[in-house]
């Protein structure tokens, strides 16, 4: 059995700051809106096989969008072999700073 201390999981932290010229009204949980905006922007930037569902794309195993938003289970997995997707490898954390 593998212990937590034996796992080699790369972790990166990115911090983004956004500013607006006018007041913005965010929903009660803005995570889904930001996740959607990030996903649409990433796919628009990296997808070279337009109008093809990721699961049918010949580049799905090499595509950063597919790895992040259509995360396939590892090929040699035993525990997730019945699933078509694995948990997405990112977490969004939000903080709002209001300056006047």
For residue range 12-60, list pLDDT tens digits in order. 888 877 777 888 787 787 888 888 888 999 999 999 988 888 889 999 8
Give the pLDDT of residue 3.
Answer: 55
Residue 60 token pair: 């799905």
Distance CA 34, CA 5 (A): 32
Residue 78 or 3, more confident:
78
Distance CA 80, CA 12 (A): 25
Among 34, 52, 47, which Cα is nearest to 90's? 34
Give the pLDDT of residue 82.
Answer: 81
Residue 5 token pair: 């201390």
């Amino acid at each position: 059995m593998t212990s937590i201390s034996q796992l080699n999981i790369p972790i990166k932290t990115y911090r983004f700051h956004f500013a607006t010229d006018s007041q913005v009204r965010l929903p009660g949980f803005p995570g889904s809106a930001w996740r959607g905006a990030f996903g649409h922007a990433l796919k628009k930037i990296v997808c070279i096989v337009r109008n093809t569902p990721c699961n049918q794309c010949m580049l799905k195993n090499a595509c950063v969008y597919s790895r992040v938003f259509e995360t396939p289970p590892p090929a040699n997995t035993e525990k997730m072999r019945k699933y078509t997707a694995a948990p997405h490898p990112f977490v969004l954390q939000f903080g709002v700073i209001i300056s006047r």
